Amino acid sequence: MVNICVWIASGLMALKLICVLTIVNIPPLHLVVYFLLTTFMLVSYAGTAFILPSFPVSVLEDEGDNNNNDEQEARYCEKCDRIKPDAYHHCSVCSRCVSHMDHHCPWTGNCVGLRTKKLFLLFLFYTSLSCLWFAYCVTFQQLGPTGNFLWFTVVLATLIGWLLFGYFWFHIYLLAVGRTTLDFMAHRPGNSDGFRRNLETYFGLNWWAYWIPVVPASLWQERMPLVDSSA
């Protein structure tokens, strides 16, 4: 199922690109904006699909052997047969525990977690803008003999664009109240850290880099405690 979703997503991206290339009278500035949005979309997608969403538990166990005192009682994941650090959740699809797991995305074939949540949100944002900008560019052009096919693509891109734009803001809402998709589905309350603190957790401290589809440097040096002493 996951592989099918990935192929569908890739096919839709390719379809939109082919349609743009078949129209020769789109203004150059419009094309530049489209290709910038599409490039950011593709980079965000690749990062969401291929970047490890968090440090493996085994790495943190090694850190924990040196950093945690023996009096702390560790949580244990029976499925991984390993200690489960605080804020980790087991993904049954990936068969591993993921830090700050939001959900497993079938469209990217990877988990949305601590490192990949920013990239996932930017993927939603840039995909929606790319689709809507594509629809805008094509709508006012003389489409010629391939008009019916292009109009179908415009309608499809518009629907996808608005759906993903709404989904993007849904995730911004979850971020603001400190909840994940798993929390939302299980009707669990969020944290009380506030929107800015939650945003910095995934996006880092450099606000100017929030729109760039790269993982914040601090998340490559993740050091999560193995246990919460209050757990």
Whole-Å CA distances, 148 to 20, 100, 125, 153: 14, 45, 28, 9
Q: What is the dihedral of CA 126, 132, 133, 135, to 10 degrees?
A: 150
Q: What angle do CA 59, 116, 163 make, to 5 degrees?
A: 155
Q: Which of the following is catalytic: 105, 111, 131, 137?
A: 105
Residue 105 appears among annotated catalytic residues = yes
Q: Is 77 helix (H, G, I), strand (E, B) or coil?
A: strand
Instruction: Name residue 90's beta-bridge partners.
Output: 97
Question: 114 is written with which tokens?
Answer: 């601590």
In this structure, what token pair is assigned to residue 35? 């290709």
Residue pair 116/220 in contact by the 8 Å Cβ criterion: no
Closest CA to 80 of 94, 62, 101: 94
Determine the number of helices (DSSP H) and then strands (DSSP E) in the chain: 7, 6
With b meaning 16 or more CB within 10 Å and e meaning fewer, what string describes 163-202? Answer: ebbeebeebeebbeebbbbebbeeeeeeeeeeeeebbbbb
> Catalytic amino acids?
105
